[in-house]
Structure 1
């Protein structure tokens, strides 16, 4: 399965939990939509019972009872909203399939093609509210096209059925109105949440990824099963610079190194500040030879650059990060190699040589 399709399916099958603000907006919208839709739903149920259309009535009643039970179950516990949405979506889907199958077997039943269209549009409108955003646009287009066909078919319907269709359609449009309002409101909230998520994944000083952001993005990149290489680097003699020139100068050096890494890291690579003066890079799809060459180019660039008032150098360790290895395993190997580079005189790049021992690196 392609990476983009797998990521899309994960968003659909396992949506992230909503923030409390988003849950409150959704709950208010669902309550309003249900209140407006009740007359049409009850009239439809009455019509089904009068004409003894029991299979239709049971299918329709299951959705109504499910909604009536799910709303109070979720009201006091907003964290259940995601599960409630999926349950209700399943009920609506089963209802739509049931109506189509039953109508195909009994086309002479009480629900003609006009009311079948109304009911199915009502169901799709409900699904439109609770399905992931990735499906909203195609469903909206299909909904508008289907409703246009239904309008053309309503001529010649008797008054009672026309009234029923109007009530059902009123409920459908109420759902759509709530959906549009919720989408607009949630768009602003989602944008803020994404901004907070981005900030929580970044190092505030250098703008590089922090450890949390690195782990998340590396995991996403490696979903395609491709090996890569890990580089651990440390600024040489950084503590004496802080002690002699002050932390402002130290921060200036960290920011300069971060900017240099941003400029040099390839599009499919990641750069992170791991802590203090230690940094980590991940080169997706690059073997150790390519990663070693990149690390040496970065080392030379740092040596020639003016990161602050003091010329600085870095020591780097390179290790393979195979698909069967954890980040911790690859990091230990690269960190050991960086320690060897420090011991060998600094300002150099060394490849890992297992086993890893996890020595602390000197300054």
Structure 2
């Protein structure tokens, strides 16, 4: 392998860890192997952005250490787990610490019930006799399975269905990966997340550059308008340095615009979980795309590059879009009032392209301009055949 190929592999490994911070030899063998083979380079790149790479046995974790008491906040994914699901997931992980070898879902359910009944534990009680509660616990087990903490060992879906529907039988069999579990529940890491060290003004100033670097890695874009005056001035002066850092770390490029900077990953560095698959050939996606484009044209452009539309303007825009492009929409969008606006609003907020005020006004991000002038074409499926 040439030096260039080795560098590219290290870059892809870091991007992979950003998308999947906890990886094991079972959950993602290719990524796990790449991280181990390029561990020094990956660790050096991660350290540049204030991350920590920790390895235990056959598990590796990228830890987002808070900087100056803060972390970057990407838009919340639409499929993000609820607080209740996260609480049950934490309880389930705690129960896994007492498991050696394999365990059934029914046994885990009993353990979570007993744990939630512990006096002084500020978690809503878990009742395994309620089907909705069992479904939540199953989702929590799946979440830990995705992380690699639990590994399902049985394939019989009938057993799982019987447990979900009636609360009978073992449900499913799992094996606990103690290495992944220990990385996930590390007291040091939890302390960093729950009790970050407060920062004084000097620390905040000294860490501006690394916090901006991390924001470029973790958020859709870094806009000058979102920074304080000193931060915006620093980023403008050092955008060449930040672009060089990101190119070396990820293999991507930084797109510089008047309003700010955005990291663009090439197809070679992209990992599915780091790049939103949008727009897709779905009515919800096309409606969001067309609404964003027309909002950018009809709204009031402000000095910071954002575009403002009143709530009434948004409703008018949705009505116009229905008359103009109704053939592209699904039944709910055509018949249920407010669906077009709700679909577009949900998707654009998820993408970080839109902020909605308490009054329902839209503030469109300057980044939405990257999707201007879309064209949607209906295909006659019969003719296409």
Which TM-score band (shorter chain)?
A: under 0.3
Q: Normalising to structure 2: TM-score of the pair?
A: 0.20
Q: Normalising to structure 1: TM-score of the pair?
A: 0.21
Structure ID, larger Rg: 1
